[in-house]
Amino acid sequence: MADGMMAGKVALVTGAGRGIGREIALLMASEGAAVVVNDLGASLDGAGEDQGPAAEAVEAIRAAGGEAVINGDNVADPAGAQRMIATALDAFGRIDVVVNNAGILRDGIFHKMSHADFEAVLDVHLRGSFNTSRAAAALFREQGSGSFVHFTSTSGLIGNVGQANYAAAKMGIVGLSRGIAIDMSRFGVRSNCIAPFAWSRMIGSIPTDTEDQQARVDKLKSLTPAKIAPMVVYLASDAAAEVTGQIYCVRGNEVFLMSQPRPIRSLHRDGGWTPQALAEQMGPAFASDLYPLDVSADVFGWDPV
């Protein structure tokens, strides 16, 4: 561990009691990092608290010879995020990496989605990512280094049914990460996103009412959370010192660099546009380049490798 890619670094991993977060924490520790294992221990929809999963993750790290401490604060609470960073400083004297992995689901078709379900998902995913990042930002600036790794989703980047709240939060995280990367590059601080494909309780609620849905779920079950962790460790390490403001996707043994919005067509009209001119000229000119209402399964239509 002393000569691993994360040797000498201290990492906060949120939602690290189970699934992807747990695998990230374990690999971080095996690569030499001291880890703050944060997990509220809530149910999938964000209700309740249980420190058991986080405690088990910490014990597993220590049993393997690594260093870890537990933190049970809620990422949606700004004061809780400050306590997470304080936990790292108290236990290990510094903070080098923040991995924003914690999340909940409140799925529902949009016309039935409640305000409470929309706000709850944004609170944990988007505001939670802001809270923990902001809590570490001044320290990163002072030491002239630091890495944020945020979790986005193809539900936002591409689309999925019944997840307007989740998609909005996850696309918000893309913008947050890009803004952090731009603002803090002058201080040697990096910020990147990962969209993971992995079987966890976060996608365990996918319906299996049809044969196609069942086949999709069966494929997803082969994508273990451990496949995601190496990309997180790489982006957190000094090996990725020149990488910032990017969006990656990990699916099994495949890794992808995702595109970011840029102009793809343009049209100019002297004297400006009227609604009628837009309908007559721009509409037909741009029609072949409009994006269809794909969901992530349409874009990633081949079996995982």
Residue 36 sits at φ, ψ, to 5 deg, of -95, 110
* The pLDDT value given to residue 49: 72
Residues 166, 234, 248, 291: which is the catalytic one? Answer: 166
Is residue 279 situated within a structural domain? no
Is residue 129 situated within a structural domain? yes
- pLDDT above 60 for 240: yes
- Average pLDDT value for residue range 209-237: 83
- pLDDT above 60 for 202: no
- Half-sphere exposure at residue 200, Cβ-oriented, CA atoms within 13 angstroms: 25
**The domain containing residue 251 runs over which residues?**
10-260
Is residue 280 situated within a structural domain? no
Q: Tens digit of pLDDT for each residue in 91-137?
A: 999 999 999 999 999 999 999 999 999 999 999 999 999 999 999 99
Tally of structural domains, the chain:
1
Is residue 296 situated within a structural domain? no
Is residue 294 situated within a structural domain? no
- Where does the pLDDT of residue 216 fall: very low under 50, low under 70, confident under 90, or very high at 90 and above? low
More confident: 290 or 199: 290
Is residue 166 situated within a structural domain? yes
Q: Please state which of the ranges 27-31, 73-77, 214-218, 280-284 shows the lowest mean pLDDT.
A: 214-218
- pLDDT above 70 for 173: yes
- pLDDT above 70 for 208: no
- pLDDT above 70 for 21: yes
Of the candidates 73, 42, 37, 75, which has an alpha carbon nearest to the alpha carbon of residue 57?
A: 37
Is residue 193 situated within a structural domain? yes
| Residue 183: how many other CB atoms lie within 10 Å | 13
* The pLDDT value given to residue 211: 73
What CATH number should be reported for the domain holding residue 69? 3.40.50.720
* The pLDDT value given to residue 198: 86
- pLDDT above 70 for 200: no
- pLDDT above 90 for 47: no
* The pLDDT value given to residue 3: 82
Our answer to whether residue 234 is catalytic in this structure is no
Is residue 94 situated within a structural domain? yes
* The pLDDT value given to residue 199: 72
* The pLDDT value given to residue 201: 53
- pLDDT above 70 for 203: no
Q: What is the mean pLDDT of the chain?
A: 93
- pLDDT above 90 for 43: no
